[in-house]
Structure 1
Amino acid sequence: MEERNILFGKYEMGRLLGKGTFAKVYYGKEIISGESVAIKVIKKDQVKKECMMEQIQREISVMRLVRHPNVVELREVMATKTKIFVVMEYVRGGELFAKVVRGRLKEDLARKYFQQLISAVDYCHSRGVSHRDLKPENLLVDENENLKVSDFGLTALPEQQRQDGLLHTQCGTPAYVAPEVLKRKGYDGSKVDIWSCGVILYVLLAGFLPFQDENLMNMYKKIFQGAYDCPPWFSPEAKRLISKLLVVDSNRRITIPAIMRAPWFRKGLSASLNTFSIHDKLEEKEELLKSSSSSPAFFNAFEFISSMSSGFDLSSLFESKRKTGSMFTSRCSATAIMARIEKAAKGLSFGVVKVRDFKVRLHGPSEGRKGRLAVTAEVYEVAPEVAVVEFSKSSGDTLEYAKFCEEDVRPALKDIVWTWQGENVCSNDSNGNHNGNGKVDGTTMT
């Protein structure tokens, strides 16, 4: 009988779906729900060797930031000492490229994919994210014929811009890349994405590229000149839209709001493609689930390892969700921990306000240098016998907060602490002796 490959007791890993330079993607299945997932397995040593750590950080960070129906969803990130496991939505239909290779698409289907692409790209741009490598190979199609944008490895975030507010890295796929990128000058990442969307629309309707030549330099010349011809089967409205997308001068190129107003684009447009209403509903649902939860939030094992160890630190990826704070682990139950925090706070004359189950806000007894100190304390579940407790400053002076953590919180809670952030993790046996194996639920934390 073939041995099952079980990951962290949560996923069963199956066949290989694809592989790259330093990562392999496997088909997986969530054990409890039976839901299919894709699991990207990245070897840490190869990432460090290839100096790709920043790219991996950026890709995971962006996937957490961009949650949209037409973007491949990041489910979870986990890690061991040697590998990172990125669990993503499994998209059954494969690449859009495979459909185009068989020939051009009918105009209505091409329009549907383009509408969904623009909806996703518009949402990415609203979050300050430029994809920079949009092409049919990076667009997946699910079993319901819905488009999913994937592969955020070349994504740009606002902090990558120079003082001129522009990006300067040459990247992307030559046939889909905008002329301003090839000119080795600064460029606006969102305008670059719009050019790529224009090339994609042309490809969907034509079945071939607008700018192509066996000689790469000749192809670049065509891109610089914006020299392309539309096949006779293109409708007048489609031609008009493409002519506004493939404009060499990026300042004159059509914007996404203008694309969405174009008659060709609006034809048969589904009301559900209102990007922001979709996302608002998702966020509203997530907040409702959080606020109604009667158990502590699950603290991703990857976040735990990143925050508590001195190894492969990707903790910065999660700071959009959680402010930097003082953190410790405990073997006590979440309920017992909350009771101890409240008792300690009252002993220090701090007011206690319950935010939701397993999350409280502590208010200082007097005005400080920058007003009254307010501290948030929250308990996260890592495993049945391990919880992570995090304190973060909500308001007040940073030095006063640091003093509160070091001189007040640590002594008051020392008997329920397993380890503080930055200290070595080691477990106690039944006699109270350290065994130093640092393992919880199959996840190495050394």
Structure 2
Amino acid sequence: MPLSSTDEMSVNLQPGPCTLPLRLKRVDFEESLDADTPKCKRPRLSQPPSPGLAPCLRPLTQSPRPSGGEQPSASRIGPYILLEKMEGSQIHRAVHSVTEKEYTCKVFPMKKYRELIAPYVLLLPHENVVPISEVVTGERSAYVFFERSYGDMHSYVRTCKRLPEDEAAGLFRQMAAAVAHCHCRGVVLRDLKLRKFVFTDRQRTKLVLQDLEDSCILKGEDDSLTDKHGCPAYVGPEILNSRHSYSGKAADVWSLGVVLYTMLVGRYPFQDVEPAALFGKIRRGVFTVPDSLSASAKCLVRCMLRKAPSERLESSDILLHPWLNSPSLLATSSHLTPRNCTDQVVPDFGKNEDEDFL
């Protein structure tokens, strides 16, 4: 479905069955953000910030606390200064008070954070999967810090409308590599979509997969799942049709096919303003590919968006496809340069796109 600024919302009907016991060191912190934490037991950041912080990284100067008891605009968590939430998300901006390096921070309940970050801990380091930089734990919340990002792929495609094949190949290769790495380690992503990939450089040439909290860790070779979890535009037909289990890895490949199609075409392969009609189109699995795409690009899209899960490429095989290994595309995508996309904007479509699919 055509892109809008808030289209990629998801829902989980059943709690994920997979957990992994973790052993993470508890780190003391100076101040909690919990709403029920007693106030004024520790000095607030209304005191002068670290003298070494550059002015642009310092928290906003705080006026005396009003009688209504409003929360301050910044808090100190261990060596980090937690700033405002990033626009349109529940993720905070943060800065290290000594190095002045910027980070993003997710706040999890202490009772659930080990389960939520288990996929990050299980995966071996990979250049296209975001690593956890540090975890700071308190009595009620855990603060998980990641390297800062420079925007996500959903926003980028929405701004650019569509990407030329050479640029799309360089970015999609990184996406496919991240998914293949997760599958190799027994992690099924389930809620895979454009917004899960973020840029790690200002030039927007390097991507990492983030938000692994929705993932499921497999207990063996069997990747069968029963819970239905995902974004309407990206959900596979077998999830809508099946009353029993389905292949989690094959469902991820379908979603990856939707990602590539949207990057190249500028809209989703299956679209309709009515959810029932949208799901009907996905169940039938019939879509069109513009003639403007190369034969190799069409082939890769169709190899992932096959209605039968068993007929789709596996994630590791995607990296071997000729479209991602063409000498001309490799030469151009290896040194991608930013481009001005402000002249093309994907319009917002029906409000139903903002709704969860189940």
Query: Above 0.5 in TM-score?
Result: yes
Q: Give the drift of 1:72.
A: 1.8
CA distance in 2, matches of 1:101, 1:253: 27
Contact 1:154 1:172 in 2 (8 A): no
Please state which structure has a larger fraction of its residues in strand: 1
Check if 1:96 corresponds to 2:156. Answer: no
Match of 2:86 in 1: 17
Aligned pair partner of 1:157 in 206, 217, 235:
217
CA distance in 2, matches of 1:5, 1:57: 23
**Per-residue displacement from partner, 1:33-65 (whole Å, max 9, x unpaired)?**
222111112345xxx7xxxx3xx4333111122
Check if 1:262 corresponds to 2:328. Answer: no
Contact 2:135 2:145 in 1 (8 A): yes
CA distance in 2, matches of 1:80, 1:19: 26
Name the TM-score, length of structure 2 as normaliser.
0.66
Q: Give the drift of 1:208.
A: 0.2
Match of 2:99 in 1: 33
**CA RMSD, Structure 1 to Structure 2 (Å):** 2.3
Q: Name the SS for the 1:261 alignment partner.
A: coil
Match of 1:293 in 2: none
Check if 1:202 corresponds to 2:261. Answer: yes
CA distance in 2, matches of 1:118, 1:165: 18
**Per-residue displacement from partner, 1:290-342 (whole Å, max 9, x unpaired)?**
xxxxxxxxxxxxxxxxxxxxxxxxxxxxxxxxxxxxxxxxxxxxxxxxxxxxx
Contact 2:223 2:248 in 1 (8 A): no
Match of 1:68 in 2: 126
| Partner amino acid, structure 1, of 2:86 | L
Contact 1:13 1:28 in 2 (8 A): yes
Q: Give the drift of 1:114.
A: 0.8
Aligned pair partner of 1:117 in 166, 170, 175:
175
Contact 2:270 2:278 in 1 (8 A): yes
| Partner amino acid, structure 2, of 1:71 | V
Q: Tell me, which stretches of 5 or more residues in structure 2 are unaligned? A: 1-47, 49-60, 63-73, 335-358
CA distance in 1, matches of 2:175, 2:93: 25
Check if 1:193 corresponds to 2:252. Answer: yes
Match of 1:246 in 2: 305
Q: Name the SS for the 1:251 alignment partner.
A: helix
Q: How many residues align?
A: 256
CA distance in 2, matches of 1:13, 1:135: 28
CA distance in 1, matches of 2:194, 2:249: 18
Aligned residues with identical type, % of pairs: 30
Runs of 4+ with >4 A deviation = none
Check if 1:5 corresponds to 2:75. Answer: yes
Return the index of the structure with the highest Cα Rg: 1
Q: Give the drift of 1:168.
A: 0.5
Aligned pair partner of 2:142 in 70, 73, 84:
84
CA 1:40–1:258: 2 relative to 1, 3 Å:
closer
Please state which structure has a larger fraction of its residues in helix: 1
CA 1:137–1:254: 2 relative to 1, 3 Å:
same
Equivalences for residues 399-438 of structure 1 within 5 A: none
CA 1:203–1:19: 2 relative to 1, 3 Å:
closer
Contact 1:134 1:197 in 2 (8 A): yes
CA distance in 1, matches of 2:116, 2:87: 18
Match of 2:279 in 1: 220
Q: Name the SS for the 1:184 alignment partner.
A: coil
Q: Name the SS for the 2:183 alignment partner.
A: helix
Name the TM-score, length of structure 1 as normaliser.
0.54
CA 1:164–1:258: 2 relative to 1, 3 Å:
closer
Contact 1:180 1:186 in 2 (8 A): no
CA distance in 2, matches of 1:33, 1:269: 37
Check if 1:135 corresponds to 2:204. Answer: no
Q: Name the SS for the 2:224 alignment partner.
A: coil
| Partner amino acid, structure 2, of 1:27 | R
CA distance in 2, matches of 1:80, 1:18: 25
